[in-house]
Structure 1
Amino acid sequence: MSRSLQQTLSKVPEVTLGFWIIKILATTLGETGGDAVTMSMGLGYLLGTLIFAGVFVVAVVAQIRAKGFQPALYWFAIIASTTVGTTLADFSDRSLGIGYLGGTLLLSSLLVASLVVWHRALGSINVATVRTPRAETFYWLTIMFSQTLGTALGDWTADSARIGYAGGILIFTALLAVLALAYFFTRANRTALFWFAFVLTRPLGAVVGDFLDKPLVHGGLDFSRYTATGLLLAAIVMLVALLPQRAASKAH
């Protein structure tokens, strides 16, 4: 690969329908996998957060050190971010007593601050510009905030707002549909639409994950967290292996 081509290629994948399918599966896996460790294994939110935070840091360092876009490595880092997001949100909401609404407001502020600082520092938050270690650091910090926010928002919608898991799925699916319509039929800023969609896929995954493994009496399907996690992981591995993926190209 020529030097000029390397400079135009991002370290993250091109945004396609396949990208969004894998992203939703990964966020759902983050919910079931995180809950499997903290609840089913009984390790608790703090220890679970420390474990997944360690995995996330290792994954991000490997991603930054990689010389180009590597699908398996990228999606491993995404899964790590969504599992640590699950346990961190649960630790903040439940162990620290912030609550779902408080956690949602705090994380929304951190996410916006991350995007603002990123834009001011590098001039763009377009994922196609994620080609340097500094840009990748901002990218993955923003990803972590968005994944944690999504967990808190999903739990607040399903539990505190008493909308339920099925209701939460309908709400977040409808919001994503609105963004899709805006993408195809308006001239709305594509970068803004991407980040709104990226954030909203996380609460969708959170409520889908809870819907799969919560007891029937609580509105779930009562799947084993281990079973749900294993099935989701198998689906992600299959899609990453089979779906064509390439690095996002720099817009000219």
Structure 2
Amino acid sequence: MQIIWPDTANASGLRRLANKVPEVTIFFWIIKILATTVGETAADLLSVDVGIGLTWTSVVMAALTLAALVVQLRSDRYVPWRYWLVVILISVMGTLVTDTLVDSAGVPLTVTTALFAVALAATFAAWYARERTLSIHAITTRRRELFYWTAILVTFALGTSAGDLVAERFAIGYLPSACLFAAAIALVALCLRLRLIGAVLAFWTAYVLTRPLGASLGDWLSQSRDDGGLGLGTVGPSVVFLLASIGLVVYLTRSRRDVTPVV
């Protein structure tokens, strides 16, 4: 099963690369949710359970994310392990950014959610103004790839804030929040199928929504029963979801099912 996200423009005057991101197949969304859940549980595992602390966890993860991103940017084509390593690390960073603002700086979740929403809109506006497209089938220049990863980071931070806002501030609970965001994603898919919205808008909306979906699932699995979770802790879910992600990435590396055809 493969969903086609059409291009709306082509780059001009810049050195073109092979498309640097995967095709949007069912595997894309599965790994995205797995990576999102890992990001939520791993951030808590490192900062709380291991005892590194929020500040040092943020510093270490920022360095790892930057290193992985440099490797990704230096590549001239899509390589599954490079791409998904960056996504997993950015997923952790998105959680840490929100946690730092909320827990350390005392910024309310309503404010962080609004700020990240504005930041994402500004990123998309700048991207479209320069490239005339937001299609992920057109990540064929370094500049577009930088816009792409900037948008990815902001979507993770936004999704973390929105997920925590719904589950904790509004006291809906982790599992009901996950169901709510899953229903929103299904609605987006239905609107796309009925041609009520375009493919690019549908993709980015679903991409934002999968973050709070995965985060809510991660919290539901790891948090104590008194807090509305299953009490499984952060180690087990982190390991299981990470291994599942690695298994799918290995499969995609061998099968090349998510590589954009060269035309």
Specify the TM-score bucket, using the shorter chain as the normaliser: over 0.9
Partner of 1:247: 259
User: Are 1:40 and 2:49 counterparts?
Assistant: yes
Deviation, 1:187, is: 4.8
Q: Is the 8 A contact 1:127 1:248 kept in 2?
A: no
Q: Give the secondary structure class of the aligned counterpart of 1:13.
A: coil
Superposition map of 1:21-170 within 5 A: 21-170=30-179
**Cα distance between partner residues in 2 of 1:125 and 1:230:** 34
Partner of 1:3: none
Q: Is the 8 A contact 1:56 1:77 kept in 2?
A: yes
User: Are 1:174 and 2:183 counterparts?
Assistant: yes
After superposition, what is the alpha-carbon deviation per residue over 1:179-224, rounded to whole angstroms, capped at 9, x for unaligned? 1111222252100110000000001111111001000111101112
Deviation, 1:8, is: 7.5
**Cα distance between partner residues in 2 of 1:170 and 1:203:** 10
Partner of 1:238: 247
**Cα distance between partner residues in 2 of 1:183 and 1:129:** 20
After superposition, what is the alpha-carbon deviation per residue over 1:104-155, rounded to whole angstroms, capped at 9, x for unaligned? 0111111110111011111111111111111111111110010011111111
- Structure 2 unmatched ranges of 5 or more: 1-14
**Cα distance between partner residues in 2 of 1:41 and 1:95:** 18
Q: Give the secondary structure class of the aligned counterpart of 1:248.
A: coil
Q: Give the secondary structure class of the aligned counterpart of 2:20.
A: strand
Count of aligned pairs: 246
**Cα distance between partner residues in 2 of 1:58 and 1:133:** 16
Deviation, 1:249, is: 5.3
Q: Is the 8 A contact 1:32 1:225 kept in 2?
A: yes
**Cα distance between partner residues in 2 of 1:32 and 1:91:** 15
Normalising by structure 2, report the TM-score.
0.90
Structure 1 range deviating more: 187-196 or 82-91: 187-196
Deviation, 1:44, is: 2.1
Please report the RMSD computed on the Cα atoms of aligned residues, expressed in angstroms.
1.6
**Cα distance between partner residues in 2 of 1:159 and 1:99:** 12
Partner of 2:28: 19
- Structure 1 unmatched ranges of 5 or more: 1-5
After superposition, what is the alpha-carbon deviation per residue over 1:6-37, rounded to whole angstroms, capped at 9, x for unaligned? 95841000001110011001000000011111
Of all paired residues, the percent bearing the same amino acid is 34
Q: Is the 8 A contact 2:40 2:219 kept in 1?
A: yes
In structure 2, what residue type is equivalent to 1:78? Answer: V
Deviation, 1:226, is: 1.3
Normalising by structure 1, report the TM-score.
0.93
Deviation, 1:80, is: 0.7
Q: Is the 8 A contact 1:166 1:211 kept in 2?
A: yes
